[in-house]
Structure 1
Amino acid sequence: MNENNMSKAGASADGESTAVFAPLDLSAFAASAPSDEARSSIRPRKRHVIWPWIVLAVLAVLGAVAGGGIWFFQSHALPGVTLWGTPVTGRSYEQIVSQIDDAVNGTAVNASYNGTTAKVTLKDLGLSVDSDAIATQVMDAKRDDAWWQRYAFWNTADVSTEPANADAAVPDTLNAKLSIEEVKPVDAAVQLNADASGFDVVPGQQGQGADPVPVAQAAVKAVETLGGASTQTVEVKLDATSPAVSDDIANQAKATLDNLVQNPVSITIDDHQIATIDAAALAASTRIDANENGKLADSETRSGYVVFDANKLQQYYDDSIKTTLQTNREDRDVIVNNNGDEIDVLKEGHDGVTIAADGDTNVGHDAVAALANGGGSVTVEGTVDPMQTKKTKRHVIVDLSDNKVYAYENDKLIRTMSMSAGQGNDRKTGECTGGDLCTPTGDFTIWLKYESQDMSGNLTLSDGSKESWDVKGVGYVNYFSHSGCAIHRIATQTAMNDSQVAALGNTSHGCVGIGWDQAEWFYGWAVMGTSVHVQV
């Protein structure tokens, strides 16, 4: 461009020239519309959905909370559990024990008599509270419910076990604190009977003094508030005071002990019984406690009103049971009859027992647990050589046609004796031909024995005649029939031997008479229960 042209193009007032540009064509910058194929390849950006993750997170938190709650309540009282109406949810066993003990120790009732007032505790009244047992009941409450009910706070369970039996309160300390003169009641007792086979009840006796029961009732109610209420003053009255162990309690304890005598706890080695906890062992290791919810010593276990002491039972075992065990076996020797019934014991016998070192140190502990459950067995370590039983069978045959009495031992004839039978029995056939004065036939057992007996009687016979007898000092009498027939020394005034009896004939009223030289032996040999078969 030349100067002229520049001048023509334009100049500013200050003389500077101004450049002039051609108009800008924007169409060159416009984007062309995409084709259908290109449009189809374009996708909108995805939006991320987060709510399922939020739900999962919430569920995870809830699951963790639920799992933690379940874990927590394994060792704490469940939701909805109360003790005597007071909520204890979430408390541990130890906390519940402590809460009960604090309530017991902090409870003192004001008792008043004739202007004298004194604070009286449960301990003063002879009562204790088994906080461990009650806490265990609290921990167990609702545990057997379905799982959805177990942790539901609206599903409630109240443990209402009475902390102590107010009727078991004793007035001794109460009388002393209130300066009341008393005649002490005497507790009923359970003692071993004369033959040590069971128990007898010794009745209690009433006393005279302060009635402790209302004071005890007030103290028990205060404990049940777990320290939440104060007690009012209790006016004490004089009354006939009942013993803590009443006759009824003693009889219930006797029933518990008698059942254990009938179903004794056995002491075994490898399932072989070597001894039992008998009545004497029970008497040495038990006491009667009228307060059935009272706190026990560590060595004690209870069943109702009976308390078993493991230490005492262990001592009894060591002193009176273990010392009777013998290492050498001795077999038992018994007599049986034709029916196999054991009718006499010639020798008791015993096992050969060897106890391993320290193999029986837990007898007392294990035995009281079994006793509290009503029976069972406890095992000690050792070896046993079991005794065997020797059986000797004895039976008698009275043959009315042979006019003989036969004594058998193990089915072997060991003695034959001549006899005189009833007057009504035919001497040759043995048949009863005389009606009323016959020796009965059949199978019998000897059921009654007298070394000497006066025999007398009057009998009206079927023909109307009367038969009377009166014989003094009939020796060695063995009754076999309940109608009065016996095998005995022949009832003669002077001694008559076996051969003389054989020649005598039938002279009795139904009994069987044997010689004076045979009767004493037969009396000693034919023990009670021996089988007697009478035949023709």
Structure 2
Amino acid sequence: MNVPDDDWQKIVFPETDTSSGPVQNSDMGLHIAQVADPVDDGREPALAKKGHGLLWLWIVLAVLVLLGAVAGGGYWFYQSHALPGVKLWGHSMTGKTQQQIADKIADEADSITIPISYNGTTKKVGLKDLGLTVDSKAVAQEVFNAKRDDSPIGRYMFWNHKDVTSKAFASQKADAHVVGNLFGVESTSAVDAGLKLNDAGDAFDVVPSQEGVGIDVSGVVEEAEKAVESLGKESPSTVKVEYRQTEPAVTDDEAQTAKTVADALIANPVAVKIGDHAVASFDAASIASSMSVSADDGARLPDGQFRKGVLVFDGSKLQQYYDGSIKPNFHADRVDGDVIVNSVGDVLQTNKEGHDGVTVADGGDANVGVDAAKALADGGNSVSIQGTCDPQNPKKTTRTVVVSLSQHTVTAIENGQTLRVMHMSAGQGNNYQTGQCQPSGDLCTPTHCDANAYDNCTPDGDFKIWLKYQSQDMSGNLALSNGQQENWNVKGVGFVNYFSKTGCAIHRIATQSAYNDSDIQAMGRNTSHGCVGIGWDQAEWFYNWCLMGTTVHVQA
């Protein structure tokens, strides 16, 4: 059946009743009828509603895609640019690359000239002429890193500000001679106090500071810093300078404080470890080679340098020391050593040098200098390098001495076994039966005594042999508690081993002729002025056996 296009709306299906079976339609079941005009009931057709819903869905999706693209693009952009809200000295750096920031700082620093007035005459001088350097790369690095440790949301919020305000200058020391020369004024620079390793290599000495005279350039430095930090917004003002005495940047008191810190570092050196085993350490010489005293704790430090109070440690110098003085001592093959130690483990004598078997991995120690500098500044006790270590197993012989004031003996002990027992005569002030220093005793052998007196003893004390003489003239005088004076002057006392800083030693008994071990045993009394006297037949053997640093335990 052909139906004109404009009559399709007139096709209707008849109502059917399917309750009694299939509907029977004649004429193909279609009836053509005139359809009445539809009634407008104000409701939108379902198909139209569906179309509008899809439209909104597409709009939302488009917005989300756009936001995602913006966020992704922003994330990508700020991976190489300063984050939103970041400032430098109050100036916005948002969206600038690290190189752009560094170039801006460097350009401003290079273009600055400071007008300086002295006695009515004005001259101009640049930062480089003054010896002032701006570490533009380090400043730019700090700006670029600003806010990158914040939360992911806070990192990109422009209202979350971070102003980098670090000092512009890597060094606050301006060369006063340059300014003086401009005006024909001679200057003598102030000399900072410093530190120098002593001859023994076990402590630092303070090198005193010296005052100077010349043009005071502190105001010039302040104006230069202000001009740099304005980033071109302000021109330097004229600075009026004066000729006067100049103070050192590091005073003697500050150097003394630095000495205390440095000496403590020598006493507890930073170990170099492979795994848990120490294969070397940064000793006093390495600390001295890498250390400087700087009182300006606000000064920017170059990469690889670290501060501990007024001390600054340079990682590159420690690396040089390691490469030149530590690493060459590593050997791949292990050799077991042979040493003599005291009771606390100090090495007294090395009979055979030994070493661990150490192999350092390629590049495994490339950062050890910087790591060591950071450890020195932060109080770390070790740094690690990568490699393998076969630790040596040295033979150790332990020596110690026990002085018994009540038994009147000196016992030489080796590896825990008694090697020799010698009779002795102690100080006259010690009770012969108990060994105790008597209340009225002026001449006692100390156990553990006041550094400035002989009569303040306690039951026991531990010492180390700190001074030895094969022969020594001994003399002295002492005001006794009864008002009398005790004087002595003995020539050629043999085989002297000092253990007390108050002057007590183990030595050959001070007699005019040979007085042997059996003679001292038979004497039955104390005769010395505080020292420990042993037999002539024992003294030389003991002197040779008792090495410098041997521990001495004195007991009542």
State the shift of 1:78 in Å.
Answer: 1.6
Say whether 1:85 aligns with 2:86: no
Judged with a 3 Å threshold, the aligned counterparts in structure 2 of structure 1 residues 521 and 355 are, in CA distance, closer, same or farther, namely closer
Deviation at 1:94, TM superposition (A): 1.4
User: Alpha-carbon deviation of 1:74?
Assistant: 2.4
Structure-1 residue corresponding to 2:178? 173
Q: 1:186 aligns with which of 176, 191, 200?
A: 191
Q: Per the alignment, do residues 46 and 168 of structure 1 end up closer, same or farther by CA in structure 2, a change over 3 Å counting?
A: same
Counterpart in the other structure of 1:372: 374
Report the 3-state secondary structure (helix = DSSP H, G, I; strand = E; otherwise coil) of the residue aligned with 2:349: strand
* 3-state secondary structure, aligned to 1:124: helix
Pairing of 1:328-407 with structure 2 (within 5 A): 329-336=335-342, 340-342=343-345, 345-347=348-350, 350-352=353-355, 359=362, 363=366, 365-373=367-375, 374=377, 375=380, 376-379=382-385, 381=387, 383-396=389-402, 407=412
Deviation per residue, 1:113-133 (Å, 9 max, x gap): 244433222222211112222
For residue 224 of structure 1, report the CA deviation from its aligned partner. Answer: 0.9
- Asked if 1:119 corresponds to 2:124, the answer is yes
Structure 1: 5+ residue runs without aligned partners? Answer: 1-29
Q: Letter of the 1:69 partner, please give it.
A: G
Equivalent of residue 553 in structure 2, options 524, 531, 534: 531
Q: TM-score, normalised by structure 2?
A: 0.71
1:490-501, aligned counterparts within 5 Å?
490-501=509-520
**Equivalent position amino acid for 2:513 in 1:** T
User: Following the alignment from structure 2 to structure 1, what is the Cα–Cα distance between the partners of residues 435 and 197?
Assistant: 54
Runs of at least 5 residues in structure 2 that lack an aligned partner in the other structure:
1-8, 17-30, 39-43, 448-458
Aligned equivalents of 1:341, 1:75: Cα separation in 2: 57
**Are the counterparts in 1 of residues 316 and 370 from structure 2 also a CA contact under 8 Å?**
no
Distance change in 2, residues 1:63/1:399 (3 Å): closer
1:321 aligned counterpart, secondary structure? helix
Larger Rg over CA atoms: 1
Asked if the contact 2:405/2:554 (under 8 Å) is kept, the reply is no
Cα 1:243–1:414, aligned 2, differ >3 Å: closer, same or farther?
A: closer
Query: Counterpart of 1:146?
Result: 151
Identity in percent: 41
Describe the shift of the 1:98–1:352 C-alpha distance in structure 2 as closer, same or farther (beyond 3 A). same
Alpha-carbon shift at residue 200 of structure 1 (Å): 3.1
Residues 169 and 300 in structure 2, CA contact (< 8 A), matched pair in contact too: no
Q: Distance in 2 between matches of 1:141 and 1:423?
A: 75
Q: Post-superposition shift, 1:491? A: 4.7
Give me the TM-score of the superposition, normalised by structure 1. Answer: 0.73
CA offsets per residue over residues 194-221 of structure 1, 9 Å max, x none? 3223433323323222221212211111
Tell me if the contact between 2:504 and 2:532 (Cα under 8 Å) persists in the aligned partners. yes
Q: What is the rounded CA distance, in whole Å, between the counterparts of 1:346 and 1:486 in structure 2?
A: 21
Cα deviation, residue 32, structure 1? 9.7
Tell me which amino acid in the other structure corresponds to 2:350: K
Structure 2 residue identity aligned to 1:121: G
Change (3 A) 1:247 1:137: farther
- Paired with 1:370 and 1:61, the residues of 2 have a C-alpha distance of 50
After superposition, give the CA deviation of every residue in 1:330-350 in whole Å (9 maximum; x if it has no partner): 5242343xxx43466122765
How far apart are the structure 1 equivalents of 2:406 and 2:195? 56
Q: Deviations over 1:84-133 (max 9, x none)?
A: 11111111111111111112112222222244433222222211112222
The alpha carbon displacement at 1:65 in A equals 0.9
Native 8 Å contact 1:168 1:245 kept in 2 = no
Aligned to 1:282: 287
Match of 2:235 among 214, 230, 234: 230
The match for 2:539 is 519
Q: Which letter does structure 2 place at the counterpart of 1:372?
A: K
Structure 2 residue matching 1:68: 3-state secondary structure: helix
Is the 1:207–1:242 Cα contact (8 Å) retained in structure 2?
Answer: yes
1:301 aligns with 2:305: yes
The SS at the match of 2:335 is coil
SS at match of 1:352: coil
Deviates more, 1:354-363 or 1:382-391: 354-363
Q: Which residue of 2 aligns with 1:261?
A: 266
Partner of 1:52: 57
Cα–Cα, structure 1 residues 324 and 232, in superposed 2: closer, same or farther, change >3 Å?
Answer: same
Amino acid aligned to 1:181: E
Query: Partner letter of residue 159 of structure 2?
Result: W
Label 1:236 to 1:193 Cα distance change in 2 as closer, same or farther (>3 A): same
8 Å contact from structure 1 (residues 188, 202) kept in 2:
yes
